[in-house]
Structure 1
Amino acid sequence: MIGAVSSIEYVLPLVAHIEKDEPPARTDALEAAARAVLVLLADVRSTDPEGDWHEVVEAWQGHRIRKVVRRARGGEWRRAGALPGITVAHRTAEVRVYPPIPLDGWPKDLARLQVSGTDLDEPAPPPAADPGQPVLWLNPSLEMTAGKAMAQVGHGAHIAWMGLGPGARKEWAARDFDLAVRVADPAAWPALAGSGRPVVRDAGFTEIAPGSCTVVADVPWPTR
């Protein structure tokens, strides 16, 4: 359940490990970011009213569920890893997620990290998603940096999670939050966007126009 609205607006920080010589594949980074959001939401520190992160998670969800992705390498990544959070490793990618922080209250070791520089390549086209696998479909008509897209699929996973009942959440967690991120076929996108599935509409702070439909979440369990 979304908590009471706080007077302070919070943001969820995500940090992608992007070494200059060995960057992750784009899809791997996007899937790692989406899974990282789910891992934090399901963590007992977030769900237990006595948990260390519960209060800030509730306050964050009482506003826009803003997420900001930054990149780190070398010593930056090691310093970022020393702060309380959770690192999700997924194939070639590593993403660390932190409990929400006030919009203007970034810890210095995260504040100094760059938002730019998250343009990632796709070495090979990703395979089709497995049958029954949750899929976060990206709008094929929008061009986004990997960092922007990571935030958007994080929103998609988050909105899908909020719409699931306890049984479906438990099943997804038991599957280690398995999911796929894929770019939708242009011909299929209009039907997807109008299907009634969870949809992300961007606030328009960066890169794309306000109200743009960026992601449709297709999960195999009924939403409430």
Structure 2
Amino acid sequence: MNQKHQEDLSHIRSMMERSSRFISLSGLSGVFAGLSALIGGLYVYQLLELNGLDYLHDEHRLYSGNLVSELFWIAFIVLVFAFAFGIFFTIRKSKKYNLPIWTTATKKMLFNLAIPLVVGGVFCLSLLYHQIYVLVAPATLIFYGLALINAEKYTFSDVKYLGFSELLLGCVSLFYLGYGLVFWILGFGVLHILYGLVMFKKYK
């Protein structure tokens, strides 16, 4: 009888978690988003070398308007791939475990995620407009970290650890201006891959 009550309570907790949190998030989406950022970052490094810029040793780098535009579109493509992988693996996991995707928890998570991301996106566009390029990478890491922390209450609590890691890395990068690409690769590439592997092992 006692075991029956425990099973009932466990089932109720599971139902409450499903209704209040977005649990279709897959660790593989983090891994592939990280790989996309890693490949994009390494491509940018090669592109800078082709343009005669020694990124790691030349402290006085000058970027042409065409190069800045190209870097922007590379970042945009990486973002599209990251979102595409996220959607793909989320749908795959939800079908595998018969989990609903578009729920109240999903809407709340996306809303809380979007607020810092949209504000951060506007802020980064203003930095590009005023040609303050050295602050773009730290700003993206900081606002992304804030977005994850803000959305954590509606998904896996582990997300906040990635959020705080991105936030810390972004703050550190403020003191190493000019090396944003390195921190960008670490934050959006390496951290995402590590986080995704941990999440996949924990919630597979």
TM-score by length of 1: 0.24
Higher strand share: 1
Higher helix share: 2
Greater RCO (Cα-Cα under 8 Å, separation 6 or more)? 2
TM-score by length of 2: 0.26
